[in-house]
């Protein structure tokens, strides 16, 4: 009887050990990627422009979304990342902050402080980052590990600008839209009518007040096609 009991105990312990090995292996295989939502125009890069911020803004924090493929954890897990050599950026313009996947979550953020300097008024800085393995997480798919952060202090055409709706891009026109609506990106098409009408109303008020049309940096009259 005792021999049978010992045999059953050994089987239970063996099965339990196998189960633990499987769980451990699954945890070790948990990978982290930059979250590149196909519906997001900024899935591969984003531009931070101090030109749309208040003059007293000297720094801000940009958050790059990441997510895991695998199990959630009951503790925070560290996400490692590095600046790639192909970056064209001064160390005066950024500070890398620690990144984690919070406990109980599939998603996290890579926080990067961007800093305003005089150089940004004439030159756009390009900061390439890449996720690297950490003691907690392996890296995921190779095409989802890099991200480009562009930093400047002048207005550039956003990736979500639609020429057929807003007309040809200019810094003056973009500045008008930002001042009147607060929007710097136009990925949500349900907002286009509001943005367009608000900007057109402001343009009309300007022309009524000054008696002349608003012109852009190319000396072209600001108009909206719709």
Q: What Å distances lie between residue 48 and 61, 74, 148, 184, 198, CA to CA?
A: 10, 34, 11, 10, 24
DSSP 222: -
Look up tokens 């007309």; give the residue.
167
Tens digit of each residue's pLDDT (9 = 90 or more) over 133-177: 999 999 999 999 999 999 999 988 988 999 999 999 998 899 899
**Total number of domains in the chain:** 2
7 part of a folded domain? no
Query: Which residues neighbour 83 within 8 Å (Cβ) at sequence distance 6 or greater?
Result: 89, 96, 127, 128, 129
pTM recorded for the entire structure: 0.68
> 47: domain range?
31-152
Distance CA 9, CA 12 (A): 5
85 plus 111 within the same structural domain: yes
141 plus 219 within the same structural domain: no
159 plus 143 within the same structural domain: no
Last residue of a domain, one of 99, 120, 152: 152
Last residue of a domain, one of 95, 128, 152: 152
62 part of a folded domain? yes
Provide the 3-class DSSP secondary structure of residue 30: coil
The helix-helix angle for 192-210 and 171-181 (nearest 10°) equals 110
| CATH assignment at residue 100 | 2.60.40.1740
124 part of a folded domain? yes
Tens digit of each residue's pLDDT (9 = 90 or more) over 32-85: 999 987 655 457 899 898 988 877 899 999 999 999 999 999 999 999 999 999
4 part of a folded domain? no
**Residue 217's pLDDT is what?**
87
């Amino acid at each position: 009887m005792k021999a049978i009991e010992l045999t059953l105990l050994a089987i239970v312990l063996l099965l339990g050990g196998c189960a633990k090995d499987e769980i451990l292996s699954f945890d070790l295989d948990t990978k982290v990627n930059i979250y590149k939502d196909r519906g997001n125009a900024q899935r591969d890069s984003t531009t931070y422009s101090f030109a749309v911020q208040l003059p007293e803004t000297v720094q801000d924090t940009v958050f790059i979304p990441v997510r895991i493929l695998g199990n959630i954890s009951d503790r925070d897990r560290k996400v490692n990342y590095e600046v790639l050599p192909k970056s064209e950026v001064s160390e005066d313009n950024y500070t890398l902050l620690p990144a984690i996947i919070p406990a109980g979550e599939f998603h996290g953020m890579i926080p990067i402080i961007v800093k305003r300097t005089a150089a940004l008024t004439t030159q756009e800085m390009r900061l390439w980052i890449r996720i690297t393995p950490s003691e907690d997480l392996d890296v995921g798919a190779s095409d989802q590990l890099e991200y480009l952060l562009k930093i400047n202090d002048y207005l550039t055409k956003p990736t979500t600008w639609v020429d057929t709706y807003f007309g040809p891009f200019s810094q003056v026109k973009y500045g008008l839209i930002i001042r009147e609506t607060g929007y710097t990106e136009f990925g949500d098409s349900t907002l286009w009518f509001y943005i367009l009408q608000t900007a057109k109303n402001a343009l009309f008020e300007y022309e009524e007040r000054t008696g002349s049309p608003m012109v852009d940096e190319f000396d072209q009259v600001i108009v909206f096609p719709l």
